[in-house]
Structure 1
Amino acid sequence: MTLANSEIVYSHADLKLIPTSNPDLIARTWTNNKQEWGKTLDIGIYHEREKVLASQEFTAKGKLQVWILVPKTFTGESSSDLDQILSAVESFERPGLIATKEGGIKEGVSVSIASVFTPAHYRGHGYASLMMKLLWKEIEKKDNVVFTFLYSDVGPTFYGRLGWAPMRSDQMVIPTTHAVQKGAATTVTLESVSDASLAKITQLDAQLLRETLKTRVESSADSTTALVAVTPEPKCIFWLHARSRFVAQHIHTLDEAGSRYQITDLGAKDTASDSFVLWFHDLLEDQLYIIRWRVDPKAKDTTAVSAALVRAAQDEARKAKLAKVVIWNPDQSLSDVLGLPIEHRESAIPSLGLTPSSPGVPVEWVMNEKYSWC
């Protein structure tokens, strides 16, 4: 190592990437990254939120793995070691699907990557790049991993050159004041999705996703493209709602009297078809995200169903005093129904790579929606 600008600069050969379950080390990563993901929050509230999120079924008992890049001399046994966390990242193992013309549909594991962060005083020395290269090697050691993905807030290039290629990153913003005219004359009966009914909807979602992949690979003349998808599961969605419910309880208020919104409806389903919408309240950013969207092509009137599901999302947003509904990577058909444009998104760019690394293999991420962001 050498000294530069009164800082220690480590040679990459002197560093290692290690997993940690040490509460003190994990808490330090939260303190470090608060400036990026908890800018408006008190440090105590931010730590409390992270503890809640780390204790969910989706994340508890090792399902969420924290990794830290540290000097090879690092032991983690002294308080001074906390200052030697050069960069940190989290990984989650989740069910995933990959489908090809030759191999059919394969059930496997997808590894999602989150919370990549390097403290400002350690930036500019390639530590984050080294960490991600080492993490890729760790992922490839695991059994049955078929792909890995993340969401980039630093553009498409940084992660792209490390193996996570940028995917489609479009969105549609639907103001709660936007009047949905098409399909309004047709009656569509919806039922609310609650905590109790979420598992049934998610099971249906996963079944329909497998059917979609099967149909597409069997009917396609393309034998080279791999279709991948993150398999829906309720515990991921409950993690998202734990996040929004924490904000509703501790931070967000609806009015000056301190009224807080109780999140009970997680989505809506058409009672006459396999059409549904699931959502997530992003209370701090004043928006309701659609996290899963499916309109059954066998529905009697797909335009009316689409319009009804959007109106249900708008109604939920208005109840929570949110200004807009946002959906990622919608089909053109929804744009046509609503009369709203699909726009390119420069942040949270979905980025994906096959494992083992397969440069040059075309990949399509099917149902690349907000759901997978958690």
Structure 2
Amino acid sequence: MNSLPEYSPADYNLSSLCLRHPTPDEQIQIWTTTAATWGDPLDLLPLWLQRFKYLTTIPLAKNGGMTMWILTNTNYLPDQRPILSSCDTFLKRSLSSDAQGNTKDNIIYGIASVFTPPQYRRRGYAARLMEELSKKLHSWQSVHAPCIGSILYSDIGRSYYTKLGWHVNASNIHYTFKPAQVPWPSCTEGISKSRLAELCDIDEVMIRKAMKLPTNEERRRVVIIPDVEHMLWHIEKGEFMSNLFLGKIPSLKGVIIGVPGNRMWAIWTHCYYTHPEAQSSENGLYILRLVVENDECTIDNDTELADLLKAILRAAQYEATEWKLDYINLWEPSLLVQRLIGKSGIEHAATDRKDKAVASGMWYDENGSNIDPPLWINNERYAYC
């Protein structure tokens, strides 16, 4: 690769800077630099490159669902140009609804892996990347459906992306439960990978029905569809790391209880960030989506529902223990589920995320102009990117 020029801190305003898509060699350059900043031994680099490549081939990412972007200088040729900053975007199917219950299908982009190489940091390149991206996404892949916004999950607090136009969601709550040496609840059934599509389809039908109901909420309601592509994106990421660290893959992708029409289920993923035997492992079982079937008829049935949820959580505790995970995490449970958690008798802690995985959004009108945030429904872990 040719030597690249040194850029001054003011160069982020250059008119020659623009968004492009990286070549295959530039993708490897991005992944290599990213892995190096993690401080991993050099001999692990082939594994991390394999992982990065693999993540472009799984559901949600494959077939054009994932797009890689770079901020670069048009004065240089591909494979010779500087990669000043980079990120990925994921196309997410969404549904919006007004106060009268009029619904529209649309798309939202998830922005992930915003990364600036160390030698280019503190020069405004990430901000320029995001500025250019905000202007591009409204019309990007618009053949699928109108784009109504983009979301990201900030790991650098709440102020940086807010200044760039991505406003922090009204709620960023998750509940944490501890693994426990408990038996698998006999009244529940494990969910296999082959069953995910069926359950996600049922879930989508219920969501569409709920979004058609009129509401007193004046803001537009928005939901990212919890489809099987989202579930498999997280699950297959977890499978790669599980196979790497443990040499095997979990067979259960969740748990279900109850009879059709009055069921409750949870779909989960096993997240390994370090080897389970490491002294300071921070690996978790993340509940991607928790569904209460026919929940509009459950107001006077809390005791029975609390028992169902308790069985779901016991199954999660069992699974976390079996797979050497350190915690169970449930994002943004509904008010109903929050009430049931309190009645379940299972120890838990609620956290309002301030610094990590802070859900934030930029929202568009039909012309691509920024508008006030909508009511974001089901901001659960499946939507994370």
**1:11 and 1:47 mapped to 2: Cα distance?**
29
**Residue aligning to 2:13:** 12
- SS of match in other structure, 2:177: strand
2:374 to 359, 363, 367: 363
**Residue aligning to 1:68:** 70
- SS of match in other structure, 2:69: strand
**2:148 and 2:39 mapped to 1: Cα distance?**
32
Contact 1:98 1:228 in 2 (8 A): yes
Trace 1:319-334 onto structure 2 (pairs within 5 A): 319-330=322-333, 331=335, 332-334=338-340
* Amino-acid identity (%): 26
Residues 77/49 of structure 1: CA separation in 2 closer, same or farther (3 Å cut)? closer
| Deviation per residue, 1:244-295 (Å, 9 max, x gap) | 1111222x23xxxxxx343111001123123110101012232101110122
**Residue aligning to 1:295:** 292
1:270 to 243, 257, 260: 257
Q: Report which stretch shifted further, 136-145 or 169-178.
A: 169-178
Runs of at least 4 residues of structure 1 off by over 6 A? none
**Residue aligning to 2:242:** 248
Trace 1:91-240 onto structure 2 (pairs within 5 A): 91-102=89-100, 104-142=102-140, 143=142, 144-167=146-169, 168-177=171-180, 189-215=187-213, 218=214, 220-223=215-218, 225-240=219-234
1:13 Cα offset (Å): 2.2
Q: Which amino acid aligns with 1:351?
A: S
**Residue aligning to 2:277:** none
Q: Which amino acid aligns with 2:216?
A: A
Contact 2:167 2:373 in 1 (8 A): no
**1:294 and 1:36 mapped to 2: Cα distance?**
38
- SS of match in other structure, 2:20: strand
**1:60 and 1:100 mapped to 2: Cα distance?**
32
Structure 2 gaps of 5+ residues are 274-281
**1:126 and 1:196 mapped to 2: Cα distance?**
46
Q: Which amino acid aligns with 2:233?
A: W
Q: Which amino acid aligns with 1:348?
A: A
**1:364 and 1:195 mapped to 2: Cα distance?**
31
1:125 Cα offset (Å): 1.3
**2:341 and 2:182 mapped to 1: Cα distance?**
13
1:87 Cα offset (Å): 0.2
- SS of match in other structure, 2:328: strand
1:222 Cα offset (Å): 3.0
1:212 Cα offset (Å): 2.6
Contact 2:177 2:328 in 1 (8 A): yes
Q: Aligned pair count?
A: 349
Contact 2:19 2:133 in 1 (8 A): no
Q: Report which stretch shifted further, 291-300 or 203-212.
A: 291-300
1:174 Cα offset (Å): 0.3
| Deviation per residue, 1:291-316 (Å, 9 max, x gap) | 10122334661111110111111111
Q: Report which stretch shifted further, 290-299 or 266-275.
A: 290-299
Q: Report which stretch shifted further, 10-19 or 163-172.
A: 10-19
**Residue aligning to 1:257:** none
Residues 125/21 of structure 1: CA separation in 2 closer, same or farther (3 Å cut)? closer
Q: Which amino acid aligns with 2:194?
A: A
**2:101 and 2:177 mapped to 1: Cα distance?**
39
**Residue aligning to 2:276:** none
**Residue aligning to 1:305:** 308
Residues 36/102 of structure 1: CA separation in 2 closer, same or farther (3 Å cut)? farther
**1:207 and 1:367 mapped to 2: Cα distance?**
15
1:205 Cα offset (Å): 1.5
1:342 to 334, 341, 350: 350
Residues 334/305 of structure 1: CA separation in 2 closer, same or farther (3 Å cut)? same
Residues 212/317 of structure 1: CA separation in 2 closer, same or farther (3 Å cut)? same
**1:319 and 1:87 mapped to 2: Cα distance?**
40
Structure 1 gaps of 5+ residues are 1-5, 254-259
1:55 Cα offset (Å): 1.2
Contact 1:38 1:46 in 2 (8 A): no
1:39 Cα offset (Å): 4.7
**2:340 and 2:156 mapped to 1: Cα distance?**
29
1:36 Cα offset (Å): 5.2
**Residue aligning to 2:55:** 53
Residues 178/353 of structure 1: CA separation in 2 closer, same or farther (3 Å cut)? farther
Residues 35/174 of structure 1: CA separation in 2 closer, same or farther (3 Å cut)? farther
- The TM-score normalised by the length of structure 2 is 0.84
